Amino acid sequence: MKIPEDRLSPWPERITTGVRTAWPICMAYFPVGMAFGVLAQKAGLSVFQTGAMSLVVFAGSSQFIGVSMLSSGASLMAIAATTFIVNLRHLLMSSSLAPYFRRTSMPFLFLFAYGVTDESFAVNSMRFRDGDWDRWKALIVNHAANVAWVTSSVAGAVSGQFIPQGFMGIDYAMVAMFLGLLVFQLRGRIYLATSLMAGALAVLLSLTMPGNSYVILASLVAATGGFVLSRLVQRKGAHDA
Amino acid sequence: MHDASYFGIVLAMGLVTYLPRWMPLFVLSQRTMPGWLVEWLDLIPVAILSALVFPEVLTSGAPKELDVLQTRSLAAIPTLIFALKTRSLGGTVLVGMVLFWALEKL
């Protein structure tokens, strides 16, 4: 069954909107992707091998970890287990996106799932929330970001050098993007409270926990805290009324 | 390194990364979720973004140490205000970069 939005939004509009929405992600990916390419080249990987990892895995931090584990001679099992743990947070992101993909075909979900990253997830969930967004635009965002990621890792592997260190604050692009996306998510007091809980908890946990598993733990606890809080507020409102 | 074993590792990494991305979409999009779950999932984006970005601007080093007054946190304040006023993501990225760059130069 075709849903009406598929007819309302013509392809050229979908593509231009998707790409325009993705450009901040692509810009933020470029320095990180190049840094990955340089690291991979130094670890003895060919340009083709580097590009293949970015294409198949498409997950920044786990690729950096994977390459450094490879060069220290870690086993397949060790690398796979570490990658799994580092990327487990995507479970939460895909769960949170799922309500927007009701009655979506299996092939579409296969294609879309491939591109769920911290960045595309944040952008797409914001746009879905705001309305005027459909799953095809979301798919284009995911894959535009992927093109930028693969291209920049290959560029790093070929050139063998970083963009000059600190060039025009490019190291801050990703942080600034997350800050912007965070602001757009603060739609009320419950969201603000959840944000502060998650942030404070993540900072505390990041000081003591190795790796990035603090992201999942802090998010789970804070979302649950925010949920309980909103229920309490609702109940109080009902009593007061 | 040897090609066959390298691509074996890359495929394994790809598979364990892909599964957590695909599984919830596959399972949860096929059924009606209870209201409380939808409400809880609605808070996940803001929670994840905060869990990612707060440590990024308030800690430094490896292992991480608390570092509240640093260029990253100082640049974050005007960047947040800019995002709040303009609601432009692209603009926020550019302004953040320029602010960070300027503060680094000081």
- Spell A47-62 as b/e; 16+ CB within 10 A means b: bebbbbbbbbbbbbeb
Which pLDDT score is estimated for A2? Answer: 45
Judged against a pLDDT cut of 70, whether residue A5 lies above it is answered with no
Query: How many whole angstroms separate alpha carbon B72 and alpha carbon A227?
Result: 30
pLDDT tens, residue by residue, B18-69: 999 999 999 999 888 899 998 999 999 999 999 999 999 999 988 899 999 9
Numbers of helices and strands, H then E, in chain A: 12, 0
CB B77 within 8 A of CB A218: no
* Of A116, A179, A203, Cβ closest to residue B21: A116
Which of A66, A8, A157 has its CA nearest to residue B8?
Answer: A66
CA distance A240 to chain B (A): 22
B4 touches chain A (CB under 8 A): no
> What global pTM score does this model have?
0.84
Best residue in A32, A50, A172 for a mutation probing chain B (most B CBs within 10 Å):
A172
pLDDT tens, residue by residue, A118-168: 999 999 999 999 888 999 999 999 999 999 999 999 999 998 766 666 667
Task: Give every CB contact of residue B106 below 8 A, 6+ residues apart in sequence.
Answer: none
pLDDT tens, residue by residue, A188-231: 999 999 999 999 999 999 999 888 889 999 999 999 999 999 99
Which pLDDT score is estimated for A1? Answer: 43
Mapped onto helix, strand or coil, the DSSP state of residue B59 is strand
For B4-29, what is the mean pLDDT? 95
DSSP class of residue B70 equals: S
Q: pLDDT band at A241, cuts 50/70/90?
A: low
Please state whether beta strands B65-66 and B59-60 pair in parallel, antiparallel, or not at all (unpaired).
Answer: antiparallel
Which pLDDT score is estimated for A162? Answer: 60
Query: How many whole angstroms separate alpha carbon B98 and alpha carbon B94?
Result: 6
Percent of chain A having pLDDT more than 70? 93
Which pLDDT score is estimated for A8? Answer: 59
Chain B residues closer than 8 Å to A89 by CB? 20, 48
